[in-house]
Amino acid sequence: MPLPEYSGTLGIKRAAHLLRRATFGATKNQIDTFASLTPAQAITQLFRQTLADPPLPLDPLTGQTWVTTGPANDDREFEFQDFFKGWFIGQMMSTGVSPAQSLAWSAREKLVLFLHTHFTCIQSKVGNSRSMYFQNQLFRLFALDALNVDPDINFKKLTVKVSVDNAMLRLLDGNLNVKGSVNENYGRELLELYSIGRGLEGTLPPPTGPGDYILFTEQDVQAAAKVLSGWDIRDQFTTIDTDTNLPRGSVKGSVTNATSHDNTAKQFSERFSNAVIQPDPLLLSGGNPTEASALKEIEDLIDMIYAKPETAKHICWKIYRFFVHATHTVDDSLAIDGPIITEMANTFQANGFKIQPVIENLLRSQHFYEASGGTVTDDNFGGIIKSPIDLTLGTFRFFNIQLPDMATQTTAFYDAAAEILQIVDHLGMDFYEPFDVAGYEAYHQFPIFHRAWITPNYLSRRYNFIRVLLTATEPGMFKVNVYDYVKNTIPNGIAADARLLVMELAKYLLPIADNLTYDPDADDFASLTALRLNYFKERFVQDFTTDPEAYWTSRWNAGTEIGDLRAQLEFLFNAMLQSPEYQLA
């Protein structure tokens, strides 16, 4: 059964929570708009709009794209790879998208990022901007799979397509996997990382012996590698997949004679009920393997893997950790595995392995919005440490920072995107360069998961990012004028009252801001202690006079000391956005 859904109006806290998790962030006005919606209405706006494909990335030297035609100068390939990454940042920022579709665009790109964190890409290994772009487009095609009436647009079929994707063939040496000299890299990671997994980490039984990887064995790795043998990268991108209309790899030899594909029967272990995958005789040519027969074997392999219920659960755990919370103990994992992950997996299977219905149900669910008891283990609000991407883009989007238009200001667009990429890298996420083929550790590494984003060094850099962004005297490409922000966004009656202003901003900036009070004796039910709230207020009003709050009110209403007012607001925004609470989503 689907997860029970929350049916009430979202309100500010739940709307902000949803938009932090499902998109790359929202403005105060967007949060206010979503606050009047139910989860069902909000999810419809986020995931059920018809969206165009993004405009093609452009070469700033020529003003033309290179991804479909090929670059005029291969010596600039590393530049093109950076342009691709900058282009992707632009899509996450909804650059050039109408306000009516900005959040839906951002939600789709969040799904594309999720797929990138699952099916890894490492720039230094792939080394080709067009391969990276076409893989990114493949993810985008499959991201909103429920909108596509084709039942074959689903996560299981995406796993097939990824298996012959040029970027993946390069990343895990699929092009080196030939009969008689089988390379097991992709077969191993397909099983361990991208499909069935080893099982729920922390709960696994001891292995029965060498080659036991719990849900699969070394025999299964070797058999899968034989199924996957014989494919090659097509650097000219001339082999087009008939289902996706996107370039893919092709077999070595020819379409009618796949000379490097292992054409023998592949025997799997008892973990897969001793299944055998062998060539379809109707697809052979004179007994020789063909591209069609080799591809059919891959489809049979993926069908076999997805027939195991553990595969659906493994994928649903990845979805859950990305959008909700990463459990850090065995007890917490088991508490979620039964009532939540099992039901998500049932929805996944019932919908033909489309992930959009699973994610939509999760984001509408009571579980997603619960905060029962307010304890660390069961409170989903603030349950994720923001990734460097989420922190940076979420802050920019809250203050409505826009990137230059790619079509008319191409160089300025890439300069701005490059600055964002540099910030993200500085905060600990080398985008498209994870340490290994398992991807960025925060999305997969038990038991630390999202906590990997925080070290003393990276935390200080997070605070410095905010200081540079908000402080007028600090040099930086991106700046926020906090005086203008408050003047144009916050009602004057609230802005003029120091205490009300702090509480108003807390509702939008911090994940938990219920029952706020400045009285330490009355904060038993407050989600943010009076001590923290008073700290923000004191950093804001300072000790200018014997009554600094009244002094703020009179000066704000007079509006004649804009420079001083801005400096004072900078103290407030720096205190709130450099807080530990702001690092949480």
Q: What is the pLDDT of residue 525?
A: 64
Q: What is the pLDDT of residue 377?
A: 45
Are 246 and 165 a contacting pair, CB within 8 Å? no
Q: Which residues pair with 258 in a beta bridge?
A: 253
Instruction: Identify whether residues 125 and 174 lie together within a single domain.
Output: no
Which of 119, 548, 40, 118 shows the shortest CA–CA distance to 320?
118
Which band of pLDDT confidence, cut at 50, 70 and 90, is reported for residue 526?
low
The yes-or-no verdict on residue 520 having pLDDT over 60 is yes
pLDDT tens digits for 105-127?
A: 999 999 999 999 999 999 999 99
Instruction: Identify whether residues 131 and 188 lie together within a single domain.
Output: no
Which of 443, 461, 460 shows the shortest CA–CA distance to 452?
443
In a domain, 300, yes or no: yes
The yes-or-no verdict on residue 556 having pLDDT over 90 is yes
Strands 276-277 and 266-267: antiparallel
Instruction: Identify whether residues 569 and 498 lie together within a single domain.
Output: yes
In a domain, 480, yes or no: no
Instruction: Identify whether residues 397 and 296 lie together within a single domain.
Output: no
End-of-domain residue from the set 307, 334, 368: 307
pLDDT tens digits for 219-264?
A: 999 999 999 999 999 999 999 999 999 999 999 999 999 999 999 9
The yes-or-no verdict on residue 373 having pLDDT over 60 is no
Half-sphere exposure of 521 (CA within 13 A, CB side): 0
Domain that holds residue 272: 164-307
Instruction: Identify whether residues 354 and 417 lie together within a single domain.
Output: yes
Q: Looking at residues 133-147, what average pLDDT do you find?
A: 98
In a domain, 526, yes or no: yes
pLDDT tens digits for 350-372?
A: 999 999 999 999 999 999 998 54
Instruction: Identify whether residues 60 and 93 lie together within a single domain.
Output: yes
Q: What is the pLDDT of residue 372?
A: 42
pLDDT tens digits for 458-479?
A: 999 999 999 999 999 999 999 9
User: Which string of DSSP letters, residue by residue, matches 111-180?
Assistant: HHHHHHHHS---HHHH--HHHHHHHHHHHHHHHTGGG---TT-SHHHHHHHHHT-HHHHHHTTGGG-BTT
Q: What is the pLDDT of residue 371?
A: 52
Instruction: Identify whether residues 97 and 192 lie together within a single domain.
Output: no
Return d(Cα 313, Cα 334) in angstroms, integer.
Answer: 13
Q: What is the pLDDT of residue 320?
A: 97
In a domain, 267, yes or no: yes
Q: What is the pLDDT of residue 365?
A: 96
Q: What percent of the chain has pLDDT over 70?
A: 98
Instruction: Identify whether residues 170 and 140 lie together within a single domain.
Output: no
Helix (H) or strand (E) holding 466: helix 456-470
| Single-letter residue type at 367 | H
Instruction: Identify whether residues 300 and 315 lie together within a single domain.
Output: no
Return d(Cα 161, Cα 212) in angstroms, integer.
Answer: 28
In a domain, 182, yes or no: yes
Q: What is the pLDDT of residue 200?
A: 95
In a domain, 383, yes or no: yes
pLDDT tens digits for 426-436?
A: 999 999 999 99
Are 190 and 302 a contacting pair, CB within 8 Å? no
Q: What is the pLDDT of residue 313?
A: 98
Instruction: Identify whether residues 80 and 98 lie together within a single domain.
Output: yes
Provide the domain count of the chain. 3
Return d(Cα 325, Cα 327) in angstroms, integer.
Answer: 6
Q: Which phi and psi angles does 254 have, rounded to 5°? A: -145, 170
pLDDT tens digits for 62-102?
A: 999 999 999 877 899 999 999 999 999 999 999 999 999 99
End-of-domain residue from the set 453, 471, 500: 453
Q: Looking at residues 281-297, what average pLDDT do you find?
A: 98
End-of-domain residue from the set 407, 429, 453: 453
CB within 8 Å of 377: residues ≥ 6 apart: 332
Q: Looking at residues 303-324, what average pLDDT do you find?
A: 98
Q: What percent of the chain has pLDDT over 90?
A: 92
What's the whole-number average pLDDT of the chain? 95
Instruction: Identify whether residues 318 and 297 lie together within a single domain.
Output: no
In a domain, 467, yes or no: no
Instruction: Identify whether residues 259 and 202 lie together within a single domain.
Output: yes
CA distances from 157 to 210, 283, 303, 326 (A): 32, 20, 9, 27
Q: What is the pLDDT of residue 375?
A: 40
In a domain, 157, yes or no: no
pLDDT tens digits for 126-137?
A: 999 999 999 999
Q: Looking at residues 137-154, what average pLDDT do you find?
A: 97
Return d(Cα 237, Cα 250) in angstroms, integer.
Answer: 10
Which of 335, 321, 325, 344 shows the shortest CA–CA distance to 3?
344
